[in-house]
Amino acid sequence: MDFPTRGDVGPSADAGGRRASLNAGDAGHSRHAAARAGKHRGTDAPENFARGFVALGELALGGVQVSARATDLSTGRVLFSVDDHVAMPTASVGKVLLLIEVAARLKDAEFGLATMLERSVSDAVSDSGVWQHLQVARLGVADLAALVGATSDNLATNVLIRAVGLHSVRARTEQLGLSRTALLDLVRDKRGPDDAPQLSVGSAKELTWLFTALARGEIVDAETSARVIGWLSLNTDLSLVASAFGLDPLAHRESDHGLLMVNKTGTTTGVRSEVGILRGPRAGATYAVSMLFDDAELMTRLAVLDGMRAVGADLLEYVH
**pLDDT, tens digit, for every residue of 196-247?**
999 999 999 999 999 999 999 999 999 999 999 999 999 999 999 999 999 9
Query: Has residue 30 got a pLDDT over 90?
Result: no
Which amino acid is present at 51?
R
How large is the average pLDDT for residues 245-262? 96
% of the chain beyond a pLDDT of 70: 85
Report the alpha-carbon distance of residue 210 to residue 191 in Å, rounded. 28
Query: Has residue 255 got a pLDDT over 80?
Result: yes
For residue 6, give the DSSP letter: -
Cβ contacts of 253 within 8 Å, gap of 6 or more: 1, 233, 234
Opening angle at CA 197, ends 195 and 200, nearest 5: 105
Cβ atoms of 71 and 78 within 8 Å: the answer is yes
How large is the average pLDDT for residues 7-28? 31
Identify any residues that bridge with 273 across adjacent strands, giving them in sequence order.
Answer: 266, 290
Give the pLDDT band (50/70/90) at residue 20: very low
How large is the average pLDDT for residues 131-153? 95
Cβ atoms of 275 and 241 within 8 Å: the answer is no
Q: Residue 86: its pLDDT value, please?
A: 96
Query: Has residue 274 got a pLDDT over 70?
Result: yes
Q: Residue 22: its pLDDT value, please?
A: 23
Query: Has residue 276 got a pLDDT over 90?
Result: yes
pLDDT digits (tens, 9 = 90+) for 77-114: 999 999 999 999 999 999 999 999 999 999 887 787 77
Backbone angles phi, psi at 211, to 5 degrees: -70, -35
Please give the residue that has the higher pLDDT: either 19 or 2. 2
Question: Of 21-25, 108-112, 141-145, 176-180, which range is least confident?
Answer: 21-25
How large is the average pLDDT for residues 155-174? 96
% of the chain beyond a pLDDT of 90: 76
Q: Where are the beta strands (DSSP E) in 109-256?
A: 116-118, 138-140, 182-183, 200-202
Cβ contacts of 109 within 8 Å, gap of 6 or more: none
Query: Has residue 11 got a pLDDT over 80?
Result: no
Q: Where are the beta strands (DSSP E) in the chain?
A: 40-41, 65-72, 78-82, 88-89, 116-118, 138-140, 182-183, 200-202, 260-268, 271-279, 284-292
